[in-house]
Structure 1
Amino acid sequence: MSPLLVSHFTATSCLGHGLDAMSAALREGRSGLAPCCFSDVALDTYVGEIAQVDSVRLPPALMAFDCRNNRLAELALAQDGFAQAVSSLVARYGTHRIGVFAGTSTGGVLETELAYRRRDALTGALPAGFEYAKAHSSFSLASYLRARFGLQGPALGISSACSSGAKVFVSAQRMIEAGVIDAALVGGVDSLCHTTLYGFSSLELVSRQACRPYDAHRDGISIGEGGAFALLERPAAHGAELPGDAILLLGIGESSDAHHMSAPHPEGLGARLAMAQALVSAGLQAGDLDYVNLHGTATRSNDAAEGRAMLDLLPRTPCSSTKGATGHTLGAAGTIEAVACALALRHGLLPGSANTTVLDPALPLAYLLRSRRAPLRFALSNAFGFGGTNCSLLFGRADAVAGGRA
């Protein structure tokens, strides 16, 4: 594939608001997980809740979109000059030539949960002011972003479970490659809600501790919330030569193993195929990779399956899961972890794995318990969702591409 420039990016999670907070936490190996105090949820588990979400106010003209998910999106957009960068993109390309690709798993379902509690006692009708399409649906986020920035190009709401925030990059790349658009606003946002917390608990996938990816004693996930965004453009729009630390999307890989609705293929066949396709797409070999951000949810089956795929394809590549720091942010995870890879490449940092202490001896990977400095050229980010919806994204520094040109 032709490389794309990731010209701006940002992320907000339980680690803090914006890139500086995320970089510091990854560097220090710090986790943002804490015992669950969200709403009236009565579960003995840890979550990655973000402070100040409920104090965010949407622009007055967009209050029909008001819900925790879109407030979290607005909080993320306010970091790292990202909203201003979108405005600059509009000035360069125009509103019709910028696409919006928004990933979410549950959207604004919390708003529907709260509306259901306020339904009419006699008729059961939901409150008159409740707007499902703008406050709950899986397209709510994409619609909000279009309205927020006055964009008029194509828009997609992508909801492929935990790979949603990665697949937005793929859909954007295809539309840019086809000439339908010149640039894309991509992102993923998911917020805490009762449905997610009780739903994963009912599947017996939630840990009572802060999750420990790839640990010998791992016993489940910790649900988090987060929002992350990036801008994609053709590198040529920024001149013949890019700064050395500019981040490029170099390769993409997708697969659908369709093994089970909620469990990965036990041998990680879909995961391996997605990673292999990303390498082929980028024109790289396995030995070229310097780091892999694993999907690493800390369930027994997920880590075992992904680990087997890694042992088969990338057994000596340094790797880790950052979900011990952020929790599993579901539809936002793919974008948040793409940003983690971008930060790793930009700052020469191999992120460690918060909370993991004893590696699973059945998965003898080059797994990073502690963060360390190292020069990086290429990094891979994995996002594997329920139903076998797998996606791998390969990023690189501009100075790792021939002559710094793309």
Structure 2
Amino acid sequence: MMLPLANPSRPAPIAPVAITAFTATTALGPGLHAQYQALGQRRTGLRPNDLPGRPLECWIGRVEGVEGVELPAELDGWQSRNHRLAWLGLQQDGFLEAARAAVARHGAARVAVVIGTSTSSIGETEDAYARQEDGHFPADLARLHVHRPDSASGFVRLATGATGPTLTVATACSSSAKVFAHAARLLQAGLADAAIVGGVDTLCGSVLYGFNALQLVSANPCRPFDAARDGLSLGEGAGFALLEREPATPVRAWLAGYGESSDAYHMSSPHPEGLGARRAMEDALARAGLSADAIGYLSLHGTSTPANDTVEAGAVAALFPAGLHASSTKGWTGHTLGAAGIVETAFALLALEHGLLPGTLNSHVPDPACGPQIRFENARADIAHAMNNAFGFGGNNCSLVFSRP
């Protein structure tokens, strides 16, 4: 039986925001075609950790070829693994051309940039400290703009030519989901006519050893919602979307609603009753003007840690009917941290466009504590609405609802 909404003062429905372009690059490959093929073939992008100089026994979702990406001359001063991955991602699916066309159409000052990231270019900062020369960063890494936590949004701003409001969202693993909510408010307030949103995060020592210190990393490929799950697999990724208030090009999907919450229960553990997660989902549905049974696919946060999956599954079971198809795609890509929101948004949008509802890769034995909404096998269905969950440390939760045009 579905429980009544926990939030009696729900937000009012919003005007949907047009999404006219989107893309994603992960360990599955660059661009949407690579993502769609791997999802359909149930082919993982995870592999044994081979990050140079980081010998931790685990599996990672590493993007092939990032090391060889060349930045254009005007961006050469922004060299970092994070920015090379961002540049690789921007070039897929015609996204960079679409973003620059929007800048030309609306005017540079009317196009906002809102980028989510968890660690930014901290890998270069690690190297800079390790290679100090008389207490100073070495000359090739003495580029302070690269070491700043907002460097990703600055890079995307320069790459696209947009000069409107530029924001960086760093709320851990919900970062690049919350960019949609920020952008929607900018457009609604009339501060911009379009927004380039997205997220990018890359693997480095701080990521691997930081999560391992929290005893969250599995030595095996992650298996979300499996009864024997024992931790996550870390990955890297980049993704972007173009939101426009008055689109002049075909609409790929609508951002129909968003919900945000911050339960602040614990620095790294979710609220045991999933109150923040449920609040975010309820508010997203309310802003979309939809009931829970309208959602055809729910892309779960599903990190494969014992606590996260149990709490999220409980919140989903309390709100959605048993027939919902909900799954975690982290068995394909790993947990891409600050890029998880945009990457899994791309998967939800692919589900709307093509009717492919991903299952949960690597998982075989359902956890009896999880409800019937959690699906391990892929399915195909013609759906009108999809939702994406992204939950971060400190109780920073975000849920998004997307609708087919």
Report if TM-score (shorter chain) is over 0.5. Answer: yes
Name 1:85's counterpart in structure 2. Answer: 98
Amino acid at match of 1:7: T
- Summarize deviations over 1:245-274 as a string: whole Å, max 9, x none: x31100000000100000000111100000
Displacement of 1:131 after TM fit? 4.1
Secondary structure in structure 2 of the residue aligned to 1:9: strand
Contact 1:307 1:365 in 2 (8 A): no
Name 2:155's counterpart in structure 1. Answer: 144
Contact 1:64 1:131 in 2 (8 A): no
Contact 1:64 1:134 in 2 (8 A): no
Name 2:282's counterpart in structure 1. Answer: 276
Name 1:18's counterpart in structure 2. Answer: 31
Amino acid at match of 2:42: G
Displacement of 1:130 after TM fit? 2.4
* CA distance 1:131–1:143, shift in 2 (3 Å): farther
Contact 1:133 1:139 in 2 (8 A): no
- Summarize deviations over 1:49-106 as a string: whole Å, max 9, x none: 0111010111112222110000000000111111111121112101010000010000
Name 2:292's counterpart in structure 1. Answer: 286
Displacement of 1:132 after TM fit? 5.2
Contact 2:23 2:346 in 1 (8 A): yes
Residue 191 of structure 2 is aligned with which of 180, 183, 201? 180
State, as a whole percentage, how many aligned pairs show the same letter.
Answer: 50
Name 1:358's counterpart in structure 2. Answer: 365
Name 2:255's counterpart in structure 1. Answer: 249
Residue 395 of structure 1 is aligned with which of 393, 396, 402? 402
Q: Answer yes or no: is 1:308 the counterpart of 2:314.
A: yes
Secondary structure in structure 2 of the residue aligned to 1:238: coil
Residue 58 of structure 1 is aligned with which of 71, 76, 82? 71
Structure 2: tracts of 5 or more residues without a match: 1-13
Contact 2:263 2:271 in 1 (8 A): yes
Name 1:237's counterpart in structure 2. Answer: 247
- Summarize deviations over 1:187-219 as a string: whole Å, max 9, x none: 000000000000101110000101000000000
- Summarize deviations over 1:231-255 as a string: whole Å, max 9, x none: 0012x4338xx66xx3110000000
Contact 1:310 1:365 in 2 (8 A): no
Displacement of 1:26 after TM fit? 1.1
Displacement of 1:144 after TM fit? 0.6
Displacement of 1:297 after TM fit? 0.1
Equivalents in 1 of 2:142, 2:178: separation in Å? Answer: 27
- Summarize deviations over 1:139-187 as a string: whole Å, max 9, x none: 1011011111222111001100000010111110000000000000000
Amino acid at match of 1:56: V
Equivalents in 2 of 1:100, 1:186: separation in Å? Answer: 6
Equivalents in 1 of 2:369, 2:140: separation in Å? Answer: 54
- Summarize deviations over 1:287-307 as a string: whole Å, max 9, x none: 111110000000000001111
Question: Following TM superposition, where does structure 1 have runs of at least 4 consecutive aligned residues deviating by more than 6 angstroms?
Answer: none
Secondary structure in structure 2 of the residue aligned to 1:81: helix
Name 2:6's counterpart in structure 1. Answer: none
Q: Answer yes or no: is 1:192 the counterpart of 2:203.
A: yes
Equivalents in 2 of 1:131, 1:98: separation in Å? Answer: 30
Amino acid at match of 1:201: N
Secondary structure in structure 1 of the residue aligned to 2:225: coil
Displacement of 1:348 after TM fit? 0.8
Q: Answer yes or no: is 1:218 the counterpart of 2:229.
A: yes
Name 1:402's counterpart in structure 2. Answer: none
Amino acid at match of 2:212: S
Secondary structure in structure 2 of the residue aligned to 1:44: coil
The worse-fitting range, judged by mean Cα deviation, of 125-134 and 155-164 is 125-134
Secondary structure in structure 1 of the residue aligned to 2:135: coil
Displacement of 1:126 after TM fit? 1.3
Equivalents in 2 of 1:387, 1:170: separation in Å? Answer: 19
The worse-fitting range, judged by mean Cα deviation, of 256-265 and 358-367 is 358-367
Contact 1:29 1:353 in 2 (8 A): no
Name 1:28's counterpart in structure 2. Answer: 41
- Summarize deviations over 1:1-20 as a string: whole Å, max 9, x none: 11011100000000111000
Equivalents in 1 of 2:142, 2:227: separation in Å? Answer: 46
What's the TM-score, normalizing by structure 1? 0.94
Secondary structure in structure 2 of the residue aligned to 1:157: strand
Equivalents in 2 of 1:277, 1:338: separation in Å? Answer: 17
Q: Answer yes or no: is 1:135 the counterpart of 2:142.
A: no
Equivalents in 2 of 1:366, 1:156: separation in Å? Answer: 35
Equivalents in 2 of 1:149, 1:293: separation in Å? Answer: 29
Residue 337 of structure 1 is aligned with which of 344, 351, 355? 344
Contact 2:314 2:371 in 1 (8 A): no
